Structure 1
Amino acid sequence: MVTRLFSTVISNQSHSAITAVWNLNYLKLSSVFILIFALSGVIAPAQEDTLEVRIPDAELSAETQYRFAQAFFEAQRLKSIGNEEEAFSAFMKCAEINPNHPTVNFELGNYYLNEGNTAKAKEYLNKALAVDDSNVWVARSLWEVSKREFDKSAEAEALRRLMRLDEANPEYIWEMAMVHLEMGEPDSAIAKMDRLEVLLGPNTALTDQKIRIYLDEGDYASAETLLKEAIQKFPNQSEYRGRLAEFYKQLGRKDEAIQVFQEILEINPNDPRAHMQVAEMLFTQNKVDSAQYHLRKAIGSKDLGIDPKVGVMGVFMQLADSRPSVLPFAFEMLDTIISVHPHDPKAYVLKADFSIRANRPMESRNLWRKATRLPGGDKWVVWQEILKTDAQLAWWDSLQVDAENVLELYPNQPGGYFFLAISHLERQQYDEAIAALEDGELYAMGSPELHQQFIMELARAHHLAGNYDESDDYFKQLVDRNQYDALARNNWAYYLALREEKLVFAMNLIDQAIELRPHEANFWDTKAWIYYRMKNDERAFEAIEKAIEYGGSSSPDIMEHRGDILSALGRMDEARSAWNRAIQLGGNADRIRQKLDALQ
């Protein structure tokens, strides 16, 4: 998008001022003159207290001139009191008397222009221009017409006319440069800007615009030359050095970029942006020690806002996934950010994100809670992380309290209801869970994916509450709505297997799920459990081995089921090994030990 630079620098004169100039040029009358005119019927010679009138059409009779003068001054009087409609009618009467009068045509043209009728505006303005093509105000109005019609060729012609009338006017030169750009003529635009710079002297706005044009055109050599020239023109401004360094960086010329940033640091050793950029490039070159020095300077600066610091720490977050050794330095920087920006919630949220990646959920939760107590930090996205962490820590009582707090703040946020329901489900408070899910479902309908999760949890809650018909109804909704919903089919099949009901139908459901996602360990576990409930232990073992093949050996539930199936097959030593593994993985130790004790 092209910026109209001079629109706020060079103000246009009003139409009343324009008209005043026309009046001085073409019709200079006084009350004395009108009296003489009315009495004599002829144009009076100029006198000390009179103003002369110049009627462009010298062939008008004295009587016609008199009628015209009366009509014209009535039109001007009506216009001066703001009665535009009657003034327009009066000017039209003037045009009937003298259709070639430039002031009248100018007034009529501007009236139509203000009404949005650009065709009629052009008609009258061109009549005025035909009488005197040297009048700048007619030319400006025609320029305005061209802009309103989005006619770039006409706008270029209007601007060329204006530049002939006032060749040193910077507004016209700049606007002509903008028109060249919009017409796809960057070289001509640059030429106009060069001309403008001769008039105005060194100008950062012009330099910036020319650099953008060169970059947009892919003329990197010219952009580089101009940046270097700008550094010479404005030696006390580090901005152009910074832009040259960024230019080198974008082109992959990192050594040159670092050199320019170093020049900036020689001028201002505490420039945090230069330190930040140098640090980022040095890290990519694996020059860790030097990079850390510059990053400490940038992060510790109070002259740099928090957002660039958040951005660079985001790079560290990605790096930490593959190189955990960077975490100690990252946490040092995070603590510095908090010390420099103690009242900004972003500082605490940023450290919380790192803490959760470092498997410090309690620390993360405390940091997120600090963020919510600061201005601007009490946001749903922060509370959502607190709720997720409560669930991760299995702090069901805290999850309930936090979810209820969230719903006071965000009563239309379905996530609050969802986590509240989870807190009740995990404590076997099924009626409360169902009530929360039913309330939240109303707010989740705007998101098909989220609404599906609510229906799934309602199906689970009703199953756990023993409301099997209601559970089946919700699962049926999910299956009927989406033929590709493998998870709904698996879950419904598994609950039917637990209830030992409709096992053939359950097998059909799980076969559909496996067809959709054939390498899902949990689905093969469900199939195994259906066979187990059917007393088909051999087929159950084949299915549970598929679950193990697809990663089920890390699941305590799948390992427990494997032990159950092996026990049914009489393979007790293998069953004991599977059950012990399930306990190691965090399975229900009390229940599994009962099975182990039964083997004694």
Structure 2
Amino acid sequence: MAVSSVNMGHYSLPAHCPQGLAGLQAAGAGAIVSALCRTGTGMGSRVWWRWTALALLLAAPLAPASVTLTGEGLFYLLSAEMATQQGDRQDALAAWKHSVDQLPTAAVLAAATKAAAQLGDLPQALHWAKHWHELAPEDSESARFEAGLLLADGQDSAAIDLLQATLARFPDDERVSSELAELLAQHGRLGDAERLIHSVLQQHPQSAAAQMTLGRIALLEKQPEKAESAFARALELRPDWDEAAILHAETLHQQGNALAALRSIQGFCAAHPNAEAARVYLAKLYLSLGGQTQAYRVLQQLSLLRPEQPQIWEQLLLLGIAEKDWTGSQQALEHLRELLPHSPLLSYYQGRLAEEQKDWAPALAAYDKLSGTPLADEAQLRMVQIYYAQGQKKKALLQVEKLQARHPDNVQIPLLRAELLQEQGQVASAVQVLDQALEQHPRDADLWYARGTVAEQQGDYAGMEKAMKIVIDLRPEDAQAYNFLGYSLLQRRDELATAAHYLHKAIQLAPEDPNIQDSVGWLYHLQGDQAQALKYLQQAHAGLGEEPEVLSHLGRVLWKMGQKKEARTLWQQGLKRHPTSRRLQEDLLHP
């Protein structure tokens, strides 16, 4: 088992990826809303719902089609729409203010409200939304939009009051009922929410929106099977609904049925080739299951659908680097350069691309350009790793110590420092660094994972198990933690049944991860099932190539199955690539 040092998480990016700060600064306010939706505190959480409400509102068209203008009013309106499309926040808001002053109609106020929300000016959006609602009290959309903005602003009670008043005026509007029911559920009024949504379904049995709300309420009630059924029904009623397809797959995944989730979203994407949101989710699901190559292919397809989206090219570049597709990565970088010509991300990724190809001088030069930018600390961390790879170990440790002194709250720095110390054999010093960091960040899963690996290296198996169990408690879907625990037990031939429990959970969470395939294959070998062992170890070999441990395991299974010549050939080929591998030497001497 080659233990992965980077935990992808369910919706996260590779370690040291600056998607958060720099990505938002480069992509503008629109990306802030989408990023907040991606990094919410969990499906069904209040934060997630607030920002999702706002993001869904932003899908509405801006143009006030019913308005006919000439002269100055037309000039400002066209200027406002153009500046909004280009993401020019300052000019767009100024032009919308002029448009509203020139013609304060409901249609213009509606467009201005949506533009302000899209541009990230929530107070201005709320101001215009109130005027829009005052001018169009018979339009339920104005009330729903204002309620969504109130919710995004944290004014939950005001949003509930507004939707209740709107429902009294529009008792047959299923959209108002659905939004109110979901909001009531978020505030713990689950009974009221369910009664409201069931009354909607009695009047509108074909309402996909009501089924979606029923599913979300079921999630809040921690009834995933009920939620899955509701989302499936919503998808049946509206077969092209991205959101329903994503929630249906995600609910299956949450129930531990990862393969069913994958099949579900794959089928939807095949039937709807232009479904962008579903493809983004499919790529993330592949990543969570260890399918890095498959995720890369999905993003390549998505880049053809939305070549103007910098976030897609950024993700594609990261995965291209991970896949060692240098040509594809360079192409993605050039697309980013066209879309974000002044972003510090360009130098960062130029450095990453050079670093991964061990082209140290250009990598250091690219990272050095990031001094004084939001990516400066990230660049310093990368430079430290390059110094270490070049053999400048003292310089690397000195630099990382200085970084930690300047940024005591950054958990990535002690993680890197401990890793460098551990590689130098200074295990006690690595333990000290991690323990100090854990005093400040006692619920950081990455720190606990690192602490577990060091404990294993020390032979402190009880400490390792404690650390990895804390990781699992903090991140229940962390396949690598289950894998680490299970494989450690296998190595010690200790509690084989317990090892099997952890490893079966790991492969269930990440069935395409070759590190986990190797562990599970070795488990089957020790259990005496050589056919199953061969299947998993061949998959691991295909994914990890000439990794000595995988070659050792695969050879042992082939030897056990009587294929001794094939086993020797495998070990000999492995030794040509890894002449210092004691494991392969031992296999050949004592098969």
The normalised TM-score by structure 1 is 0.41
Relative contact order (alpha carbons < 8 A, sep ≥ 6): 1 or 2 greater? 2
Q: Which has the larger radius of gyration?
A: 1
